[in-house]
A = this chain, B = another copy of it.
Amino acid sequence: MPYDPTKMADWQISEEAEKNMPTPDDWRDRLGLEKDEVIPVGRLCRLNFMKIMERLKDKPDGKYIEVTAITPTPLGEGKSTTSLGLMEGLGKRGVNVGGCLRQPSGGPTMNIKGTAAGGGNALLIPMTEFSMGLTGDINNIMNAHNLAMVALTARMQHERNYTDEQLERLTKMRRLDIDPTRVEMGWIIDFCAQALRNIVIGLGGRYDGYTMQSRFGIAVSSEIMAILSIVRDLADMRERMANITVAFDKRGNPVTTGDLEVAGAMTAFMVESINPTLCSTAEYQPCMVHAGPFANIAVGQSSIIGDRVGLKLFDYHVTESGFAADIGFEKFWNVKCRYSGLKPHVSVLTTTIRALKMHGGGPKVVAGLPLPEEYTKENVELVEKGIPNMLHMINVIRKSGMNPVVCINAFHTDTKDEIEAVRKAAEAAGARCALSEHWLKGGEGALELADAVIDACNEQSEFKFLYPLEMKLRDRVEMIAKEVYGADGVAWTPEAEAKAKMLESDPKYQDFATMMVKTHLSLSHDPSLKGVPKGWVLPIRDVLIYSGAKFLCPMAGTISLMPGTSSNPAFRRIDVDVKTGKVMGLF
């Protein structure tokens, strides 16, 4: 320790680190947990959060640290890596630290970006379980979600085939009279399955379902994942599970999972998943994993439950919000913290020389292809030209009342002058700045970051939301577009505007959170616009209704809820050692 990540792949580092990984019994002793608060699942365990919260309800919370990033390249800029490095660095300082990250989606794991276990010495272990479904939460979400679609489509078939009298006699059901052109919900699968993005279902005869257009989204974009991120407890989950809008009826009224009488069975699939799973950093700090990624098309936050447990168990609790500060942090700030009532102490802004060079005008970065030379050789000018993206994100975080710590997530190709340029700019903007070499050196490489974070946690800050809940939907979107994304305004399609007006005029949507769906690859809706785009308006084409989560989700630009599998996907390189059962090739 540390391992040499220039010679070992991540899965190999994980395999080595796993040899001394704490067992569920070890964790119980170390964290002072009671026997029935720890539920072993193979080498991992779930934490029974209701029991832990009940026992520790009077204990004061620890420090609450959020990790976000500047606008990333398609490769990601190491937010998970920085979160894990920070836990390891705080661990080296002797602090009682832990965290909560998000479970990776099978989509990126099997496609280009790989899993989200961090990297090098700042790694979440065991990497195989983490990457290949963990303790089953996404599978449980998939079953709960698709059961609602089974209930919906079977109901539409039976209502078409039977008279009111037959429906009543056979099933004691009233006719829901669902409008097949206004089905809000699709199916889900946890892969990048572009072939299922737009489909026609129910072909055949009278007993082959109901013929209509439909779609699959990626599992982590499911409303049930959103619900898992924000619920308070099982009672809250059960209630939200019945309120999901699956469609509208022919008179324009919402049809919910409750109307389909499927919410209880859906919740039954989620009973285990409400408990966070406990994993470990490569240096053996405790790190929970709960809820899912993709802050572009989902809420993309580690769960409120995970953070509440972490703040009781740890003096410093690190959590992660997906992608860049314009989307991940904005949702952490205005959605997650509003629901949880928790106030973060500091936000860490992950920055890389690579991403700054891209924002400064460097050539296109394409996942799966070699990096152009500009990114591997010194070019201070490109870095300096890219710095406005970082300054914009510092400014976004400041609007929440916190002063961010900029973390330069070091790559071995970064030069001293490139790093100095970033540090100078961050400090000139009044932010703390720390170079961190956790990828190469683990916690020893993250001491500067750990110290900056401890320092920032002791600073007084006044956390405040961007907008009050009383603000109308379109006004909120305009405020987010202007204040967070830097747009000049918002352009609604006629359909989206009509839907927005309907939602604004219906009292039941007034206290819903606004959960933006927008690319993470630009401050704007257009992934090709880097740096800080100027002189543009944000186009909104639809508003998804997540009435279980209580989210209204404006869809910006052409972003889809189902990514595509590339021509050179990661699954080609994943295999199993059949003698030991070990999974190889994860990254």
Within 8 A of B (CB), among A129-162: 132-133, 136, 139-140, 142-143, 146-147, 149-151, 153-154, 156-158, 162
Given the known interface contacts A146-B193, A576-B268, the answer about A158 and B198 at a Cβ–Cβ threshold of 8 Å is no
Report Cα–Cα, A70/B530, bound state, in Å: 69
- Interface residue? A271 (CB, 8 A): yes
- Interface residue? A185 (CB, 8 A): no
What number of A residues sit within 8 Å (CB to CB) of B? Answer: 87
Minimal beta-carbon separation of A287 from chain B (angstroms): 21
Q: Which residues of B contact A195 (CB under 8 A)?
A: 149-150, 153-154, 156-157, 201-202, 208-210, 214
Q: How many copies does the complex hold?
A: 2
Residues 252-295 of A, flagged 1 when their CB comes within 8 A of B and 0 if not, give 00000000011011011101101000000000000000000000
Q: Which residues of B contact A140 (CB under 8 A)?
A: 133
Q: Which residues of B contact A190 (CB under 8 A)?
A: 143
- Asked whether, in the complex, the Cβ of A208 is within 8 Å of the Cβ of B197, the reply is yes
Report Cα–Cα, A568/B193, bound state, in Å: 32
Minimal beta-carbon separation of A233 from chain B (angstroms): 8
- Which of B139, B171, B200, B237 sits near A139, CB closer than 8 Å? B139
Q: Interface majority SS on A: helix, strand, loop or mixed?
A: mixed
Within 8 A of B (CB), among A173-218: 173, 187, 189-204, 207-210, 214
Interface 9-residue window, one of A373-381, A416-424, A577-585:
A577-585
Given the known interface contacts A106-B143, A197-B204, the answer about A583 and B154 at a Cβ–Cβ threshold of 8 Å is no
- Which of B132, B187, B268, B570 sits near A575, CB closer than 8 Å? B268
Given the known interface contacts A261-B572, A581-B271, the answer about A196 and B201 at a Cβ–Cβ threshold of 8 Å is yes
Report Cα–Cα, A8/B199, bound state, in Å: 45
Minimal beta-carbon separation of A238 from chain B (angstroms): 5
- Asked whether, in the complex, the Cβ of A191 is within 8 Å of the Cβ of B133, the reply is no
- Which of B147, B203, B572, B578 sits near A198, CB closer than 8 Å? B203
- Interface residue? A340 (CB, 8 A): no
Minimal beta-carbon separation of A554 from chain B (angstroms): 22
- Which of B571, B576, B581 sits near A151, CB closer than 8 Å? B571
Given the known interface contacts A198-B203, A571-B147, the answer about A154 and B264 at a Cβ–Cβ threshold of 8 Å is no
In the complex formed, the residue of B with least CB distance to A43 is B39
Report Cα–Cα, A201/B201, bound state, in Å: 9
- Interface residue? A62 (CB, 8 A): no
Report Cα–Cα, A338/B203, bound state, in Å: 39
Within 8 A of B (CB), among A551-571: 564-571
- Which of B106, B235, B583 sits near A578, CB closer than 8 Å? B235
A-B pairs with lowest CB-CB distance, top 8 = A195-B209, A264-B575, A153-B195, A139-B139, A265-B571, A154-B565, A198-B203, A265-B574
On A, residues with C-beta under 8 Å from B are: 24, 39-42, 46, 106, 110, 128, 132-133, 136, 139-140, 142-143, 146-147, 149-151, 153-154, 156-158, 162, 167, 170-173, 187, 189-204, 207-210, 214, 233-235, 237-238, 261-262, 264-265, 267-269, 271-272, 274, 564-576, 578-579, 581, 583, 585
